[in-house]
Amino acid sequence: MVKVGSKIDEVRIDGKLKLLRQDLNHFAGLGLEAVELPVHGLDAIVHGRLNRARVTEIKSILRDFSFTYSIHAPNPLNLMDRRYGALHFHVFRASLEFASEIGSGILVYHAGRFVPEEDFSIPGYAEFTEAERTSLLDGEASALRDLADEFPDVVICVENARPYLYHSPYCYAEYPEKLKEQVSRIARPNVRVNLDTGHLFMAARYYDFDPVDAAENLCGLIAHSHVHDNFGHAIYHNEKKQTHLVPFGRGDAHMPVGWGEIPLKSMIETFSDAYNGMMIMELRSRYFEFTGDSMIHLREILDQATRKDRGSLEELQAVPCL
């Protein structure tokens, strides 16, 4: 059964556990079933090591709620980092330790970036040969195999990436088929895909492919999903202020379900029949008060998808065997 949930916004709580409890109470009141915790918003990892005293505090709060939890690794985490690769590996391992400590079976990881967003403005940093790109893909695959083997009870969900004007392609996971190739070659049962609907729609508009077909092509690997809305228009990396972007419908808006133009129903129908994971509404903190409305719209979509799947099954069962 699919569980509908919301993320805890790392910027909103900014390490304040009092706000974590407050938001969990709010989500419980809405009737949500799942919550995604940002390990980087909880100050649970410091310089690549798990802060165990902090984890104890967090666990004492989570015990008061009955949510199913997923974990989001720090956004800048990048197993392709060329300067501090060992530190990134340690942060990844600590994120998996955190997931294990709180009993979460899902860790979301932003796919490796050949050029990290933080380095877009560094001259010459984006110059790679094909051999260097292949080496970085091999290195990420090897590290993910090692981490998956060490933490077999946690599913590492590699997230598809959004494009940026001028700097794309900076990440292989802007292309759904390349994300599928990387996850498939890792060949571990606990390395799968986190389908981000907003990122997929933006990439589809940017690279001119069908987002519904792309979701269907990934469906056998999808173990987790982020659901939010936008209008599919890519932006430059230095465009940050939502108050300036929203009037033009630009950027990775992370709006409530139903506010944008993503064909969410068609996307979800491609994999809902075989999916029993979480659907996490990944809304920006500016839309916090609309979490309940977004939940209602998402559950309506799921209900429609379920009815369609049931109808298709009944039609198949009604066909006589020849």
Alpha-carbon span 122 to 108, nearest angstrom:
27
pLDDT greater than 90 at residue 268:
yes
pLDDT greater than 60 at residue 318:
no
CA 309, 314, 315: angle at the middle one, nearest 5?
95
**CATH number, domain containing residue 152:** 3.20.20.150
Mind listing the pLDDT tens digit for each residue in 82-96?
Answer: 999 999 999 999 999
Q: Is 307 exposed, middle or buried (0-12, 13-18, 19+ CB in 10 A)?
A: exposed
CA end-to-end distance (rounded Å), the chain: 34
Write down the pTM of the prediction: 0.94
Q: Kindly list the distances between the CA atom of residue 171 and the CA atoms of 3, 116, 126, 176, 292, in Å, as whole numbers in the listed order.
A: 30, 8, 11, 11, 33
Looking at residues 185-209, what average pLDDT do you find? 98
Alpha-carbon span 313 to 173, nearest angstrom:
33
* DSSP reduced 3-state for 54: helix
How many helices (H) and strands (E) would you count in the chain? 11, 10
pLDDT greater than 70 at residue 172:
yes
Number of domains observed in the structure of the chain: 1
Local structure of residue 111 (DSSP, 8 states): P
Whether residue 116 has a cis bond before it, omega within 30° of 0? no
**Inter-residue contact 180 to 218 (CB < 8 Å):** yes
Mind listing the pLDDT tens digit for each residue in 13-71?
Answer: 999 999 999 999 999 999 999 999 999 999 999 999 999 999 999 999 999 999 999 99
Alpha-carbon span 200 to 159, nearest angstrom:
10
Q: Print the domain residue range for 59.
A: 3-318
**Inter-residue contact 176 to 220 (CB < 8 Å):** no
* DSSP reduced 3-state for 193: strand
Q: Kindly list the distances between the CA atom of residue 118 and the CA atoms of 49, 122, 128, in Å, as whole numbers in the listed order.
A: 22, 9, 17
* DSSP reduced 3-state for 304: helix
Alpha-carbon span 9 to 23, nearest angstrom:
9
Alpha-carbon span 76 to 73, nearest angstrom:
9
Q: What is the pLDDT of residue 298?
A: 98
Each as own residue / partner, the long-range contacts of residues 238-247 (CB below 8 Å, 24 or more positions apart, any chain) are 238/121, 242/284, 242/286
Share of the chain above pLDDT 70, in %: 94
Looking at residues 226-249, what average pLDDT do you find? 97
Looking at residues 237-252, what average pLDDT do you find? 97
Looking at residues 221-233, what average pLDDT do you find? 98
For the chain, give the mean pLDDT: 94
Q: What is the pLDDT of residue 127?
A: 72
Q: With bands split at pLDDT 50, 70 and 90, how would you rate the model's confidence at 153?
A: very high
Residue listed under structure tokens 């009993």: 103
Q: 45-46 and 49-50 as β-strands: parallel, antiparallel, unpaired?
A: antiparallel
Q: With bands split at pLDDT 50, 70 and 90, how would you rate the model's confidence at 126?
A: low
Alpha-carbon span 322 to 221, nearest angstrom:
34
Alpha-carbon span 54 to 214, nearest angstrom:
40
Q: What angle, rounded to 10 degrees, do the helices at 211-218 and 197-207 form?
A: 130
pLDDT greater than 60 at residue 321:
no
* DSSP reduced 3-state for 317: helix
3-class SS string, 17-58:
HHHHHHHHHHHHHHCCCEEEEEHHHCCCEECCEECHHHHHHH
Q: With bands split at pLDDT 50, 70 and 90, how would you rate the model's confidence at 320?
A: very low
Residue listed under structure tokens 């995604």: 36
Looking at residues 290-304, what average pLDDT do you find? 97
